[in-house]
Amino acid sequence: VVTGVEERPQGAIGDDTLIFWRERSAWRAIVGLPVELTEGALAVSVTAGAEKIDASLDVLTANFRRREISVSKRFTSPTKKEKERSKADQLAFDEAFAQEPIDWLFTDSFVWPRNSEITAPFGDLRLVNKKKKSQHFGVDLDGKTGDPVSSSNAGVVVMVRDCFSTGNTLIVHHGGQLFTAYFHLSKIEVSLGQDVKRGQRLGRVGKTGKVTGPHLHWGVKI
């Protein structure tokens, strides 16, 4: 948080640029650190007006949970057509996340899209079918097919797509290049480009895509 200057501050954390957004009388910036970062000091610098501040952030070992899961072989040994579909899905994700920098579209705190048990936390290190390694970049929330899923905050829908791995997928941009993602939905109840409010229903829990059962995979990206 930076106060006392009218011009937009500039900054960096490690190799990533800090992008500041105006909120009332202050400038605020948030950044997501990659899970691949190794333990140690991470340089932080902020320039505001004539002032420059250099500091460091201590990165600690995360010690993510490790576990084994089993999924259908069609997801671990996809056909050529399915590989092409996955490639097209990735391009769609890239496009959705490549939004123009705009100020935050929300004023309230974020809320959970469902009030339910967390069945898989962020960062899970997984051995899939005893072979393929993967990591879980979101939170799995328990639910039955058809249970409601709500928007975590105000924003605009920037992706509605049936994807090979993530199933019926919805992404909301909250401004400031901050996004929430909702995977494996059985039904999507909003449309591309639609403005949504905090707590507004977006769709329903499902088991579409690469899943072992019905749940909501919820992710946050900056």
Residue 126 tokens, joined:
């997984």
> What pTM does this model have?
0.87
| Residue 25: predicted pLDDT | 85
Determine the residue type at 211: V
64-78, 117-131, 207-221: least confident range: 64-78
CA distance 55 to 45: 6
CA distances from 62 to 14, 49, 65 (A): 18, 36, 9
66 falls in which pLDDT band (50, 70, 90)?
Answer: confident
Average pLDDT in the 181-210 region? 97
